[in-house]
Chains A and B, each alone.
Chain A
């Protein structure tokens, strides 16, 4: 598994093309309770990936049990969650040791910390908890972009 990514757009151009092509990604694991419970939503996201790339959908609770299988998969994969809380649940499952923040966009109550990252005070606390659990948390929208550490991200020094 190449990347555990928090991205509120889930499957989109940056993931499929920006990361998918240079890393030769063979599968995407999309962990989202809403998508996992809707065939229509799953078809919507499945439509966005090329035929050679598989997409697997899980709720957060199901994903924890399924993660070892994906980690052992010989192909390169990306796991996506749409929010920090869902990723925290996977971290608690014990398999995730590094988290990529790929995109958390503007909403009321959030403050901009990077061009593509906006955080509420609660979300900042959640990220600190992730880091305190030994997880390497950084922000990077694309493979060629500079990786921004959590302290630099929260300081907003890269804006």
Chain B
């Protein structure tokens, strides 16, 4: 069973997600999410749980793949789904390196490296914008969404 088939099955068994999914929200793929380990599947799962819009995101894992194979896989998925946006986890990661090679000379595409959950949540709700523009907007939201609470705010322990 493919991830998407598994994902759809999961969606239909989740009352909260099903409720969200019954709205007019876009579920057509608009971006790829790729990174280390199960980063992509985990984040997309979280987006789905919160919004029911996880279908806009295509999670890709790259276990055991060479750099060339990662680039080939991402390129094939971009063509297959007709998307021009890639979210990755780490600036130094292999998925980011591969994506930058793919995007070289591709003026209408956008890569967001260092993506987090707030980034993806903003993206899936920016349906009225073209996906690359939505990705740039989402990156700013994701950057601004990082907050530190507790002792770090006062600069010392025990205060």
- On A, residues with C-beta under 8 Å from B are 8-13, 15-17, 40, 44-45, 47-49, 105-107, 115-116, 118
Contacts and interface: CB of A to CB of B under 8 A. Distances in A.
A12 B94 contact: yes
A15 B90 CA distance: 12
Interface of B is mostly: loop
Nearest to B100: A44
B101 interface: yes
15 contacts: A8-B66, A9-B66, A12-B92, A12-B93, A12-B94, A12-B97, A13-B94, A15-B92, A17-B90, A48-B92, A105-B64, A105-B66, A106-B65, A106-B66, A118-B64
- Lowest 4 A-B CB distances belong to which pairs? A48-B92, A105-B66, A16-B92, A12-B94
A110 B127 CA distance: 44
Nearest to B92: A48
A105 B92 contact: no
Contacts of A118: 64
B96 interface: yes
A48 B66 contact: no
B141 interface: no
Interface residues of B, number: 16
Contacts of A115: 64
Given A44-B100, A44-B101, A106 B94 contact: no
Contacts of A44: 97, 100-101
Nearest to A82: B67
B140 interface: no
B69 interface: yes
